[in-house]
Amino acid sequence: MAEDREIAGEDRPKVYLETSFMFYLTGRETTDQKIASEQAYTRKWWEEERSRCRVFTSSFVIQESNGRDPEYVGRRNEKIAETEVLQTEDELIFTIAAKLLEGKALPKDETTDAYHIATAAVHGMDYLLSWNCRHLANPQTYPKTKKIVESFGLICPSIITPRSYLEDFNNAR
């Protein structure tokens, strides 16, 4: 039985790729050192870790990805097509998102960020990868986020950057 799960990929970590991940993965080259470094980590994660994981995104990512930088929409859509798109028409997602905003885990105008967290939690993701360190991959706000998600009887995914993921897993191997 465990063999069947392994073959089906059930033992691989489930990773939700938030919109900033897709932008860094497919974005234009830049001379900004910080952004270039983040793009390099994102591309490295995609090339080295993606096959070790079950990779997901959602319609929220698709909407955000199609709304900006039209020159790169095609590139983003190609990468999104290589992921599994999670169902987002679940009332629980909207309820959790509202609680995240009400509980001040996120600023009240960051509705889509709340949707990302709620979607990842409802679908049992192990990780949510994001470069949004202000609202999502933020160790100062994570405890409040985790507490709210867990109040619904769910496990909150680890919300980290691709860099943190690579460093943590490379240190563990």
pLDDT for residue 5 is more than 60 = no
**What pLDDT does 6 receive?**
43
Residue 9, Ramachandran bin (φ over 0: left; ψ between -120 and 50: alpha; else beta):
left
pLDDT for residue 90 is more than 70 = yes
Phi, psi of 168 (to 5 degrees): -65, -45
**What pLDDT does 173 receive?**
53
Q: Can you list the pairs that 107-114 forms with residues at least 24 positions away whose Cβ atoms lie under 8 Å?
A: 107/135, 110/135, 112/19, 112/60, 112/63, 112/64
Of the candidate ranges 41-45, 103-107, 150-154, 168-172, the one whose mean pLDDT is the lowest: 168-172
Per-chain mean pLDDT for the chain: 90
Contact in structure between 157 and 36 (CB atoms under 8 Å): no
What's the whole-model pTM score? 0.90
